[in-house]
Amino acid sequence: MRVQAGITSGLIAIAIVALLLTGDGAGEDASVTGRPTAAPTQQSVPSPELTASLVLGPPEWVAATSADALSDFYFASSIVEVSSGRIWHVTAPGREPPTSGSLVFVELVGWTPQGEALIAVSEGERTALYAGPPGGDIRYLITADSAGRRQAIMLSPDGTLAAIGQSIVELANGEPVTELLAGNWIGWSADGRFFALEDASAEIPRILAWDRTTSVMLEQASATEGVWSSTGHRLAYEPVRPAATEPRQNDILVRDFGSGSVTTVTQIESFHAAPIDWSYNDEFLVVSAARFPPSAGRTDEYHILDPATQETAAIFEGAWSPTWSPASDRLLFMGNICAGFDIFTLQADGTGLTNHTSSDDLDLWPRWAPNGVDLAFISFRDDVVKLVTIDTVLGTEQTPILAPRDAMGMQSWSPDGSYITFRYGGGRGLCEGQLEPQETSVRVLD
C-alpha cells in the first residue's frame, strides 16, 4: 500500500506526526497491561562469519517491566503480545564498541512465514539475519551484503529467498541468486514468482521484475510505481507522464507478468491517479485521484474500481491510507482528516461506512489483523498514548499498551495475529496550516 500521490509523503508525515505530539508526555502511572516474563538466557551459537567481528553478535530478547521502559528503546521496533500486553525488545547487549567507526543496528524487520520475528544486525554493508519467536530462542540464518541499505529486507512468501540490499539470496545458505539494480522496491508478487522494483535511473523510467522460474529480468517501460495483485502476479501501475497543471484523463494499467499482457482498467479525470491496493480476491482495486493540486491543502479522493467491468462502484474522500481486509471486501482507513482523526471501514459497494472510534482521541495508523476481522491502531489523548485492538464484528476493544504520551507507530501483525510490532518515539509540530479539515464522505455511483 502507498500513500496517495496528490500529497507528498513528506507533507503527510509532517501533518500526522505533528498532530500526535504537542504535549510533553506525562502519565507517570501508565503501565503495560499483563505481567512480563524474564528473557530466556539460552542463545544460538554465532556463525563463523560473525566471530571475526566484535560488533556483529547474536541478539537477544529483553522484556519490558513497564511502559516507562519503552524510552530505553526510543524509536526502535518492539513487539507486544496482544493477549497479555507483554512487551519484548531485541538488542545485542555487551557487544564491543565499533572499531571501524561504522554504526551497528539491531532491528526487527518483519516476520517469517512461519511466524518468527525477523531480526537484522547490520554493520557497514554487512547484515546478519536471525529469526525467533518473541521471547524464545534466536537462531542464526545468514550474513549477506546489504550494500548499506538498512532495513531493505523482504522475504519471499514461502520464506526461501530474501531480497537484501542489491541482491536476492537463498535464505538456506546466503548464496546470491540474482543482483538487483538500485531503486525503490515494489516487492514480491503474491505467488512468490516475481520480485519487482522501480528503476528510475533509466532514461525512460521502468519497472523491472525478476522471474525466479526463468531467472529472466522482465521490463515494463514508462512506469515507476505499482502494486501487486493479492493473488498471482498482476501489477497495477500508472504510466509515466509529465506533471499535470490541469485535470486530465489518467490511465490505470495492469500488466500480467506471466503472459506479458497489458490492459487498461480505468481512466480517471484528475491531476494525478495511482493504484493503491487490491482486495483479497482481486475483485476490487482502490485508486487515488487528486482533484486538487498538491498546494491546495486537500487530500485525494479514492475510487473503488471493479477491474473486470472497469466500473467505479463508489468514491470516498476525507481519508488516508486505505487497505483491504485480507478476508473480505472491506476497506480500512483513517478518516476525518485534520478534523479529529477516526478509524473507518467501508464495504466495496460503498455502503456500510462505519466509524469505529468516534471520540475526541486522535486515532491513527490502523492495520488489519490476519483474520480480516480485528484491527489495531494508535490512539492519543491527554497525557497517554495507547495501542488499541478492536473486533469489528463483536465491537469489543482491548488496550495492550498504555504508555506516557509520545509518538507511537503501528508496523505489522504476526502471521497468527498473536503479536504486533510497533515503534515508540517521535517529534514535535502542528497540523494547522498543512491541510484543511476534511470530514469523511462517500458517494455511491449508479
Tens of pLDDT, residues 369-415: 999 999 999 999 888 999 999 999 999 999 999 988 888 889 999 99
**pLDDT for position 431:** 62
Mean pLDDT, to the nearest integer, of 53-60?
66
pLDDT bracket for residue 242 (50, 70, 90): confident
Mean pLDDT, to the nearest integer, of 329-352?
95
Tally of CB atoms within 10 A around 114: 10
**pLDDT for position 92:** 73
**pLDDT for position 147:** 64
pLDDT bracket for residue 306 (50, 70, 90): very high
Say if residue 74's pLDDT is above 80: no
Distances (CA, A) of 81 to 286, 393, 414, 421: 32, 21, 10, 9
Q: Which three cell numbers stand for residue 24?
A: 510533553
**pLDDT for position 95:** 54
Whether 109 and 127 have beta carbons less than 8 Å apart is answered as no
pLDDT bracket for residue 291 (50, 70, 90): confident
The model's pTM? 0.85
Residue of 136 and 38 predicted with greater confidence: 136
Average pLDDT, the chain: 83
**pLDDT for position 127:** 85
Topology adopted by domain 9-95+102-444: Methylamine Dehydrogenase; Chain H (2.130.10)
Mean pLDDT, to the nearest integer, of 317-344?
94
Question: Strand locations in 36-101, DSSP E?
Answer: 60-63, 77-81, 87-91
Q: What is the DSSP string of 314-331?
A: EEEESEEEEEE-SSSSEE
Say if residue 55's pLDDT is above 70: no
Q: Rounded distance, CA 390 to CA 177, Å? A: 42
Q: Rounded distance, CA 277 to CA 255, Å? A: 15
**pLDDT for position 427:** 53
In this structure, of 39-43, 47-51, 253-257, 349-353, the range with the lowest mean pLDDT score is 39-43
**pLDDT for position 407:** 86
**pLDDT for position 4:** 40
pLDDT in tens, 21-46: 444 333 333 333 332 333 333 334 34
| 198-222 exposure pattern, b = at least 16 Cβ within 10 A, e = fewer | bbeeeeebbbbbbbbeeeebbebee
pLDDT bracket for residue 158 (50, 70, 90): very high
Say if residue 104's pLDDT is above 50: yes
Q: Rounded distance, CA 182 to CA 167, Å? A: 10
Exposed (0-12), middle (13-18) or buried (19+): which is 446, by Cβ within 10 Å?
Answer: exposed
State the DSSP code for 258: T
